[in-house]
A and B are shown apart, each in its own frame.
Chain A
């Protein structure tokens, strides 16, 4: 049986257009390639910072 109040909590307010800029700015665009690049850089850089 569906509980109305519980289900109602799932419904969040919709974003408005004026919030779009903020949403875009806050977007995390890190992908696996970025992670892999970072790992590769860390691997190639010794702990003391020497290359």
Chain B
């Protein structure tokens, strides 16, 4: 040990300094007391009795101000309960008394260099002081608001919680007061004010609970309270039956409303919906009918197209395609060169003139013209022979064949001869017909003028013949 007077280090059990002779036994006892108080303070701090710990640690420092551990711990206890300035005081003093090898360096560094920590703590203290001012002035609502802000920044500020609990108790909000006091107890279980207030609150609440049970007074029922932002909402607790009793009128109104709604639905909405559905259905039906009509039109059009195409196809049926047509034309040309008119006729019958190109058609026309001319001449000559011999039916056949090949054969001679044959055969109707044709086709020729006169002269005979034929037909019908 070191002598407290001359700092001489010695090992004397009795405590007498061999250097200066000072009795260090009392000094030793004081040091021991300080350490004992520190240990007790430490134990109290561990069980969260911070007020008790502060007391013990302060005592330890009263014995020995150089007890650095006690001073550092005291600073921590102050800091934990929101006493920032007291904590800083202890730590600064500790640093001054023991500059080297001191754990307080860490705390001071945290305070000094923690981002905005010191400013925030200072701001909190200022707000607390402002709240206290409001409270002294009687503005309890403002005090509450301010205290809640303080506790939001510094939740462990015990005195702020105690003040808030006091306000709640004053306003008969013992449940809220109890909540705050319980939190304060968790921070510092040894704070006498906290214990005192909590006991008061518990007593009051217990008393009220017992009164409620004894009287069974439902009016004095427990209220339900909850926080809504900065406001505390308190509502009477009701059972379901009570709520129903209280709201019988409301339920009746609800039922009436539902009935009215139902009637409105039935008489207004449902018919409207049905009407709309019917309209939609009708529109759909009309649309379907239009589609059907369009389809029918399409079908008719398509059928017409089919008929047209069929008709066009029929023209080509039996007709050769392009290759066959050209082959047949070639055969016809060859046969024409050989003078084989029969082969030419047969070949030309297989030619489809429409599929030929212009030169092919020209060749066709040339060959057919040649053949037709020859055939027509042959038929005309045969007709002349038959007419001259009085065989008018044969002559008529030959002249008709000529006209089939060429209606204007020999400037209407075939027509004239045919008409004469019919006249000679007393077939005045056909005679008039062919005389008429001749007159119309060749009005400026001799035969044409003759034919015109014949038409007039034979008109009566033709009419009479027609009448006789008609009478003969009626008589035959009546006989049957």
A binding-site residues for B, Cβ under 8 Å: 1-2, 4, 7-8, 10-11, 13-20, 23-24, 27, 29-34, 36-37, 40
- Whether A36 touches B129, Cβ cut-off 8 Å, given contacts A17-B85, A24-B89, A27-B89, is no
Contact flags B127-148 to A (C-beta < 8 A → 1, else 0): 0110010011000000000000
Contact sample, A vs B, 24 pairs, CB 8 Å cutoff? A2-B169, A2-B197, A4-B170, A11-B135, A11-B159, A11-B162, A14-B82, A14-B83, A14-B125, A14-B129, A15-B83, A15-B85, A17-B85, A17-B88, A20-B85, A20-B89, A23-B86, A24-B88, A31-B63, A32-B63, A33-B30, A36-B27, A36-B30, A40-B22
A40 to B125 alpha-carbon distance, docked (Å): 44
A2 to B86 alpha-carbon distance, docked (Å): 29
A46 to B186 alpha-carbon distance, docked (Å): 57
Interface size on B, residues (CB 8 A): 42
Q: Is the CB of A33 within 8 A of B4?
A: yes
Q: Is the CB of B65 within 8 A of A24?
A: no
Q: Is the CB of A36 within 8 A of B26?
A: yes
B binding-site residues for A, Cβ under 8 Å: 4-5, 22, 26-27, 30-31, 61-66, 82-86, 88-89, 92-93, 118, 121-122, 125-126, 128-129, 132, 135-136, 159, 162-163, 166, 169-170, 193, 196-197, 200
A13 to chain B, nearest CB (A): 5
CB-CB under 8 A from B64, the residues of chain A are 31-33
Ranked nearest first, the 9 interchain pairs of A and B with the lowest CB-CB distance are A15-B85, A31-B65, A14-B125, A17-B122, A13-B129, A4-B170, A29-B65, A32-B30, A20-B85
A7 to B167 alpha-carbon distance, docked (Å): 10
Q: Is the CB of B65 within 8 A of A20?
A: no
CB-CB under 8 A from B166, the residues of chain A are 2, 4, 7-8
Q: Is the CB of B61 within 8 A of A27?
A: no
A12 to B84 alpha-carbon distance, docked (Å): 14
A37 to chain B, nearest CB (A): 7
The 8 Å CB contact of A15, one of B26, B27, B61, B125, is B125
A51 to B62 alpha-carbon distance, docked (Å): 30
Among A8, A14, A32, A34, the one with the most B-chain Cβ atoms within 10 Å of its Cβ is: A14
A15 to B74 alpha-carbon distance, docked (Å): 17
Q: Is the CB of B4 within 8 A of A8?
A: no
CB-CB under 8 A from A36, the residues of chain B are 4, 26-27, 30
Q: Is the CB of A11 within 8 A of B126?
A: no
Name the residue on B nearest A1 (C-beta).
Answer: B200
Q: Known contacts A17-B118, A32-B62, A40-B22; can you find 19 more A-B pairs with CB under 8 A?
A: A2-B196, A4-B166, A4-B169, A8-B163, A13-B129, A13-B132, A14-B82, A14-B83, A14-B125, A14-B128, A15-B84, A17-B88, A18-B122, A23-B85, A24-B88, A29-B93, A31-B63, A33-B30, A40-B5
